[in-house]
Every structure is written in C-alpha cells, then in structure tokens.
Amino acid sequence: MKNIEVDIKKYLDDRRWNKLRPSNLAKSICIEAAELLNYSVPLVKTVISV
C-alpha cells in the first residue's frame, strides 16, 4: 500500500497537482483520461478494421 501512496504522490508532484483541492484534482484526472482516450480510439479503430 505504501508503494501506491508513493506513486500517487510522485504523479501529483510531476504535474504540480499536489496543492489542488479534491474536486479540482478529480477534474484534472478526468482531463488526463480524456486525452489518453483521444489517442487510443484511433488506434482501436485501426486494429478492429484490420
């Protein structure tokens, strides 16, 4: 469990999110997820059509 806490703290520090309020942190994580989805959808469409 300690490893996960360390990983989360590093993730927040890398993005300078360590001082965000929980609601803003949740919004930032959703934005990151949306950006990842943006990259993965074309890849999935390519794989499915092959």
Q: Tokens 């959808």 belong to which residue?
A: 41
Would you list the domain boundaries of the chain?
Answer: 2-49
DSSP 1-50: -HHHHHHHHHHHHHTT-TT--HHHHHHHHHHHHHHHHHHHHHHHHHHHH-
Q: Residue 50: what pLDDT?
A: 58
- Encoding tokens for residue 37? 């989805």
Contact assessment for residue 26 and residue 17, using Cβ atoms and an 8 Å cutoff:
no
- Tens of pLDDT, residues 1-50: 889 999 988 988 998 878 878 888 888 889 989 998 888 887 777 777 75
The span from the CA of 50 to the CA of 37, in Å, is 20
